[in-house]
A and B are shown apart, each in its own frame.
Chain A
Amino acid sequence: MTAVLRVQDVVAGYGEVEILHGVSIAVSEAEIVAVIGPNGAGKSTLLKAIFGLVSVRGGRVELVGRDVTNIAPDRIVQSGMSYVPQTENVFPSLTINENLEMGAYVRRDGLRDRLERVYDLFPDIAPRRAERAGRLSGGQRQMLALARALMLDPKVLLLDEPSASLSPKMVDSIFEKIGDINRGGTAILLVEQNAKEALSFASRAYVLAMGENRFEGEAKEMLDNEEVGKLYLGA
């Protein structure tokens, strides 16, 4: 299988503080990969570095064989990768329709078709398309954020803790939705605090600690791995 996203020895951080000291991961086509690890391991920074939001000082990021290291987010979106931040991931004063339109900002064509396709995938928010996003509940906002990221039919979707601050029931339906998206052919790279949930859902996983790779492997195996369990799953 070819890797749609390949991250090689990425070094990144904020100001003078270096957070990632050479992290490498790879995501193959239509795969679900989870990145887990303790607080402050650099999981969110990794996603931001991949997406050009935090400048990469060393190493490289490749998207379908193309070097996208330190490229502006609008061009990354055009190249087929989308990103859903953990919080504040919708535009509250815009309508749902407008939120989705913003997801397709970089493209001029086919807005109507894209909207219909995304509304088909998220029937819950479809009837409320003229409402302001600020009025949605937490779970619906998360759905809208996912929908926005899918407007351009990306090859890879980066998700930063999609289950954070949601009720357990909502978490299940979000993961179910992510599964649907993945079955549509989109590779998913997801960062999770809730490691057990993530491992039972993903096909492969990386464990990050102190800004470095610690483990990697099949998610199922990792669930059974004693050391990972002890350190990160609270088993």
Chain B
Amino acid sequence: MSVFAGRLTDALATAQDRFRGVGDQLILAALWLFFLVFGTWAILTETDAFAVGVVTGSILALGAIGLTLIYGILKFAHFAHGDSMMLAAYVAFFALTGKVVGERTDVELPWSLNDLPGATSSIPWPGEGEFSFGYGLLLALLVAVVAAVALFILLDRLVYRPLRRRGSGIVIFAIAFLGIALAMRSLMLMLWGASPRLYVPGIRPTTDLPFDVRIVTDQIFIFFAALVLAALLYLLLFRTKLGKAMRAMSDNPDLALVAGINTEQVVTWTWAIGGALVAAAGVMLALQAQLKPELGFVLLLPLFAATILGGIGSPQGAFLGGMIVGITQEVAVAQDLLDISPGYKFSVAFVILILILLLRPRGLFGVKT
């Protein structure tokens, strides 16, 4: 009798699991269907807004790629992500122009990357037209990458590692990130002031795309940068030993230690690669928009929305999530069906975030935990 009852409960549990699986699959399918239909509709009726959305999406995707790595592997909601991006962008600005605010006005270093021969002459775009920047900006990006990697490793040693040793929960880390974000933003204001800055002053060259879409040529660069970095992160995580160790750590840090993985080393690598991605995202953001200290925090909600929508830890999810959030934001305030004020642009990201957290917290590509 008891055996029978046991079998019955087992069968029920299996059925329930299977049903839950089916429900889960249905929600996922519904989400994909919705995004496909919405995307097609947006391309057809709001082509311009869609194109702007792809650009915004590229920026969000770039930021989300770094965030998804840190969030996925280290399990930290990295609230300093937006501000780190902006800080790295300013470092690139400094390397490029040598400018910081002095007593009241800018002072300039005697030498900067812009002084290199031909550093400011525009790089031609293979298709048609040219980018706004020369190779000087690419070198500046490199400087920003080095600076961000160094800063992240330093912060890990000085702040996160002691907290980790103490067994602090994610909340303590979140508060620490908040303090660091605040310090970073004040540092930017101290060194470069509150007024917006640009890498390259003046009007930016544009390119005509099919369907009467004209975009700033730089935006093509930004889009491909996002695509390439997402692909590279995918290859890192799924094809290299280090990446596999990162995923192993994300699964079970204690077991990773037992298996003989030097987990501290993997943490350092994660911050280092995260730093490089942050710098790339920040420089692209500043190239697309401008350099402005507050911009980092403003981006935080859309970045988290993109990361969680895509599935935490998934590079392809971060790319797609960034695109979906970017496009939805732009199309939502451009369309005429619902009267949504442009002021709510970033609130759209929040609505997406809430819906995904309620419907499918692990996102489009996330692994069940």
Contacts and interface: CB of A to CB of B under 8 A. Distances in A.
Direct interface between A and B, CB < 8 A: yes
Interface of A: 51, 53, 72-74, 76-78, 82-83, 85, 88-94, 98-99, 101-103, 105-106, 134, 148, 152
B257 A94 contact: no
Contacts of B260: 73-74, 76-78, 82, 103, 105-106, 152
B262 A74 contact: yes
A85 B255 CA distance: 8
A106 B259 CA distance: 9
Contact of B259 (A72, A77, A134): A77
A53 B258 contact: yes
A109 to B, nearest CB: 12
B251 A94 contact: yes
A101 B248 CA distance: 10
B195 interface: no
B215 interface: no
Sorted from nearest, which 8 A-B pairs have the closest CB atoms? A77-B260, A91-B251, A106-B260, A74-B260, A74-B262, A93-B367, A91-B248, A102-B259
Interface of B: 241, 244-245, 247-248, 250-252, 254-262, 367-368
B270 to A, nearest CB: 15
A148 B259 contact: yes
Given A78-B260, A102-B261, A105-B261, 9 more contacts: A77-B259, A82-B260, A85-B258, A89-B255, A94-B248, A94-B251, A102-B259, A103-B259, A106-B262
A91 B296 CA distance: 35
Contact of A91 (B241, B247, B257, B368): B247
A77 B256 CA distance: 12
Contacts, number: 67
25 contacts: A53-B254, A53-B258, A72-B262, A74-B257, A74-B260, A77-B259, A77-B260, A82-B260, A83-B258, A85-B255, A90-B255, A91-B248, A91-B255, A91-B256, A93-B250, A94-B248, A94-B251, A98-B247, A99-B248, A101-B241, A102-B244, A102-B261, A106-B261, A106-B262, A152-B260
A88 B244 contact: no
Contacts of B262: 72, 74, 106
A155 B258 CA distance: 16
B258 A92 contact: no
B143 to A, nearest CB: 32
Interface centre among B247, B252, B367 (most CB of A within 10 A): B252
Nearest to A98: B244
Contacts of A74: 257, 260-262
Contacts of B368: 134
B251 A93 contact: yes
Nearest to B243: A98
B169 to A, nearest CB: 17
